[in-house]
């Protein structure tokens, strides 16, 4: 996935008029109209990159040290908005990416090892979830964290502990279905104006042009029927107070 992102950026950078580079998934919806979204992103000189210290054991591979010290190890959403400068840093990176290739591989599924047997050297199966770590770690490694707004513009709902629906529990964010797609849901996401990062004891208050604002421009994961329902109900777009 990291390599695919680098290839996309390589081609996008060929157009000198491209100033911002936005990664979204196929299950994302816009919360506002294009004018508001464009103005929000372009009103600042920073990238928007979810980035925080990852203190959980198991993700960081000590074999990355000293090239990538643990002090530069970051975690965050892969749904980033990059300035041209930071997109070029990612494309031209020949230090962090090779280390991820060597020491940050996804673990094979359990079904694979039932047929082939587990390897003696488990380090070869070290899984650091690279798409959640590469960009924020690279920017920290390059000393560029002062040039980013350390939050994502894409909302995902991870607080599923009380859900009775098995499909909504686990390591993936909730998928909003047709019945979930209501104006009140969209408004509740728009109303979020701060994000708390527990590992850093840091609360990120969201702003645009120096004024308090909602934190998110996009949201996921929405099924196609859910997205169409929102479009048909005119629930998406800039609200009266956001124009």
Q: What is the pLDDT of residues 70-101, one digit of tens each?
A: 999 999 999 999 999 999 999 999 999 999 99
Ordered by start, the domain boundaries in the chain are 1-110+128-233
Over its C-alpha atoms, the chain yields an Rg (Å, rounded) of 19
- Predicted local distance difference test score (pLDDT) of residue 18: 97
Is 236's pLDDT higher than 80? no
First to last CA, the chain: 36
C-alpha 152/C-alpha 218 separation (Å) is 9
Q: With cut-offs at 50, 70 and 90, classify the pLDDT of residue 112.
A: very low
The answer to whether the peptide bond before residue 66 is cis (omega within 30 degrees of 0) is: yes
- Best-predicted range by mean pLDDT among 56-70, 76-90, 126-140, 152-166? 76-90
- Predicted local distance difference test score (pLDDT) of residue 117: 54
- Predicted local distance difference test score (pLDDT) of residue 58: 73
70: left (phi over 0), alpha (psi -120 to 50) or beta: alpha
Is 118's pLDDT higher than 90? no
**Displacement of CA 103 from its chain's centroid (Å):** 21
C-alpha 13/C-alpha 91 separation (Å) is 9
- Predicted local distance difference test score (pLDDT) of residue 212: 95
Instruction: Name residues whose C-beta falls within 8 Å of residue 85's C-beta, 6 or more positions apart in sequence.
Output: 147
pTM given for the model: 0.85
C-beta atoms surrounding 233 within 10 Å: 12
- Predicted local distance difference test score (pLDDT) of residue 13: 98
C-alpha 175/C-alpha 186 separation (Å) is 14
- Predicted local distance difference test score (pLDDT) of residue 240: 43
DSSP of 107-122, one letter per residue? PPPHHHHHHH---S-G
| DSSP label at residue 78 | S
Smallest Cα–Cα separation from 131: which of 242, 243, 23, 10?
Answer: 23
Residue 113 or 195, more confident: 195
Please provide the size of the chain in residues.
Answer: 243
Is 62's pLDDT higher than 50? yes
The answer to whether the peptide bond before residue 133 is cis (omega within 30 degrees of 0) is: no
Q: Are 197 and 52 in contact (CB under 8 A)?
A: yes
C-alpha 132/C-alpha 77 separation (Å) is 5
- State the chain's mean pLDDT as an integer: 86
């Amino acid at each position: 996935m990291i390599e695919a992102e680098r290839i996309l950026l390589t081609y996008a950078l060929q157009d000198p008029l491209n100033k911002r580079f936005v990664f979204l998934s196929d299950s994302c919806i816009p919360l506002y109209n294009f004018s508001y979204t464009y103005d929000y992103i372009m009103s600042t000189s920073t990238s928007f990159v979810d980035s925080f210290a990852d203190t959980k054991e198991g993700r960081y591979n000590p074999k990355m040290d000293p090239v990538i010290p643990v002090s530069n190890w970051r975690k965050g959403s892969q749904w980033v908005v990059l300035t041209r400068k930071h997109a070029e840093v990612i494309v031209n990176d020949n230090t962090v990416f090779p280390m991820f290739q060597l020491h940050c591989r996804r673990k094979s599924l359990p079904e694979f090892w039932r047929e082939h047997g587990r390897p003696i050297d488990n380090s070869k199966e070290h899984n650091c979830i690279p798409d959640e770590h590469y960009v924020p770690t690279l920017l920290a490694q390059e000393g560029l964290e002062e040039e980013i707004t350390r939050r994502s513009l894409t909302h995902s709902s991870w607080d599923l502990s009380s859900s009775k629906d098995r499909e909504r529990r686990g390591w993936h964010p909730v998928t909003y279905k047709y019945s979930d797609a209501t104006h009140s849901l969209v408004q509740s996401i728009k109303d979020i104006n701060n994000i708390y990062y527990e590992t850093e004891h840091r609360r990120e208050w969201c702003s645009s042009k120096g004024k308090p604002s909602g934190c998110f421009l996009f949201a996921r994961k929405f099924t196609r029927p859910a997205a169409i329902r929102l479009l048909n109900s005119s629930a998406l777009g800039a609200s009266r107070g956001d124009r």
